[in-house]
Amino acid sequence: MTRVHYFNYLIKIKVNIEDNIALIGDFKNWDDFEDKQIEYLKNKSKKLKLKSSILLFRKNFLNNGIFNTKNIIKIAKRQKIDNVIIYDYNENYLNFDQKDLFNNIVNELSIKKTVIANNYYECKIFNTDFFVNNFSTNNLLFGDFKLKSYKYNNIQLIKENKFEEFKINNKLMYMFDGIVEKGKQLGRKIGFPTINIVFNKDNKLLINHGVYACKVYIENLDYIFIGAGCYWKNELDQDVFEVNLFDFDKEIYGWKVTIEPVKWIRNGIKVNSLDELILLLKNDVSFIKLLKINKETYE
């Protein structure tokens, strides 16, 4: 059985985990490269009589790529990995002593050995050099991250809005996570309140700008809503994904949501008045409601 552990340096909560060997990798873009690393990890785990773990570094609780955290956990379960360790960090970690960070990771998480590829880079702190320099002979190098090739098919399917085909290929739906932020509230003023997720240049989505039919899972409510989502660039040159949730009108700023684009509806259209915008949104909502999207339960 795969166990999931959430951890960060600032919250001193003891993690109950057996001695293990941990693989550090690009799991948000899990591919054949990571499969080979997993095979190596499991062989070493068996030989050394240690539990197998994958160590996922997640910045600001987000790790958007091909696979979000929920999907990474599902893949790890398929691979029969003993532990998924999710290590949350933010920009402030750049100010911490690297030796203290390292000791905190290996001691609190009972990591006896690590596996990492040459030239792996998560951020200025967490990279191949960090583990090689601090763990010395207890770090095992396997593969070269510079030689990793991405499955063109997966990325292309997302960019071409072929979400059902992506599901068939991966046995997973494409989805991404976000933290709800407060916007200008124009949608609320015209009768279409939205939740807004803002993405910076380092955390852009793979999908193209446009309007989508969406499922939205609100973690704090443990409930799935259907909605009309729009991915666009605002006047501050930020990528924003906003969703008008049907039959929902509550302020949830700061809450985490998981969004699953189900179907592409149309490209963005420039409007010249609020009346044009209202008509456009009404048509989008009506069309999406006609799709009768099932609210499948998230595992």
Res 103: pLDDT: 93
Res 297: pLDDT: 54
Contacts for 234 with CB less than 8 Å, ≥ 6 apart: 240
Residue-wise pLDDT tens digits, 233-283:
988 888 999 999 999 988 899 999 999 999 999 998 887 878 888 888 899
Residues of the chain with pLDDT under 70: 12, 63, 151-152, 296-299
Res 201: pLDDT: 74
The gap from C-alpha 259 to its chain's centroid, in whole angstroms, comes to 10
CA distance 179 to 197: 6
Cα torsion for 247, 251, 252, 258, to the nearest 10°? 30
Res 167: pLDDT: 94
Res 152: pLDDT: 67
Res 74: pLDDT: 96
* Residue 297 backbone phi and psi in degrees, to 5: -75, 135
- Geometric angle at alpha carbon 229, from 224 and 231, rounded to 5°: 135
Which domains, from first to last, does the chain contain?
A: 3-147 (3.40.50.620), 166-290 (2.40.30.30)
| Nearest in space to 60 (alpha carbons), one of 143, 228, 179 | 179
Res 249: pLDDT: 83
Contacts for 222 with CB less than 8 Å, ≥ 6 apart: none
* Residue 52 backbone phi and psi in degrees, to 5: -95, 135
- Please tell me what DSSP assigns to residue 208: P
